[in-house]
Amino acid sequence: MAIPNRGHLFGLLSLIAAVFTPLVADARSRVAVGAYPFPPYVDRIVGDDRSISATGLVADVVTELNRAQDRFDFQFVATTAAGRYQDFREGRFDAVLFEMPEWGWVDRGIAIEASEPLASDAEVYVARAAPGNDERYFDRLGTRRIAAILGYNYGFAGFDNDPAELRGRFDIELVDDHAATIDLVLSGGVDVGVVTRSYLRRHLSEHPGERDRLLISQRLDQIYALRVVARPGAVPSADEIAAMLDREAILGPLLARHGVTR
């Protein structure tokens, strides 16, 4: 029997690799991760339904999850803060990272499973620093004009995020992001804004001149206990995703990079 020379053998092996590599890649089960703007967790979403990319803590976590194991291919699905519940009901995504069941999921009767907390954070109130303004300025929020983000759930509103209800109960300006909230406060467009503490920390590091212009409350609007929220029976489950993050030591360095505490 003729023995192929090295050149023929190399060509044969290359052909086999080319045939089987797509099969190996396809063996990874797709896990759709819902992503909506929520800095520093999701800073930005780019693309369309065929190709989504994101930046922020969640994006870094997904990158590391895909690098650390070969069973699952975690991919982003773009959603919105207000629309995430319906998108989840329709099966557009399987899980969302750094979420809280109290943020409208339980109230809407949506069946979910939640992991143990991945991280903690909080929301604080900010106002313009001015003579005579101190912590007492935040005592009567109901009399203040407030800036908040459309679709978010806030403690001062009992976690109700319905725009019509909020506008009926408060003098409120609903905006798209935290930067707009801070701009409205500093410009005098509103009296009080609500921002995520980790985002505010990053914002002030990037805009140090604004630190003395803001009065930041000691009082918290809410404390986050951020979890993986997933569909019941999903594979991997919410707990399994959280366990992957711990087993691969993914979470700690990424939380530190984005100024989030465990």
- The 10s digit of each residue's pLDDT in 118-140 is 999 999 999 999 999 999 999 99
Q: How confident is the model at residue 23 (pLDDT cuts 50, 70, 90)?
A: very low
The pTM for the full model equals 0.85
Express as a percent the part of the chain with pLDDT over 90. Answer: 83
Q: What pLDDT was estimated at residue 50? A: 64
Q: What pLDDT was estimated at residue 49? A: 63
Q: What pLDDT was estimated at residue 210? A: 96
Report whether 110 contacts 89 (CB < 8 A): yes
Sketch the domain layout of the chain as residue ranges.
6-119+225-257, 122-223
Report the mean per-residue pLDDT for the chain. Answer: 90
Q: What pLDDT was estimated at residue 11? A: 46
What's the average model confidence in pLDDT over 36-41? 95
Q: How confident is the model at residue 26 (pLDDT cuts 50, 70, 90)?
A: low
User: Cα torsion for 12, 17, 20, 22, to the nearest 10°?
Assistant: -140
Burial (Cβ within 10 Å: 0-12, 13-18, ≥19) of residue 247: exposed
Report whether 119 contacts 260 (CB < 8 A): yes
> How many angstroms separate the CA atoms of 205 and 198, rounded?
11
Q: What pLDDT was estimated at residue 52? A: 81
When the candidates are 3.40.605.10, 3.40.190.10, 2.60.120.10, 3.30.1490.20, the CATH number that belongs to 122-223 is: 3.40.190.10
Tens digit of each residue's pLDDT (9 = 90 or more) over 62-120 = 999 999 999 999 999 999 999 999 999 999 999 999 999 999 999 999 999 999 999 99
Q: What pLDDT was estimated at residue 3? A: 45
Comparing 6-119+225-257 with 122-223, is the CATH topology the same? Answer: yes
Token pair belonging to 35 = 């992503």
Report whether 228 contacts 114 (CB < 8 A): yes
What's the average model confidence in pLDDT over 148-167? 95
Express as a percent the part of the chain with pLDDT over 70. Answer: 89
Top CATH class of 6-119+225-257 equals: alpha beta
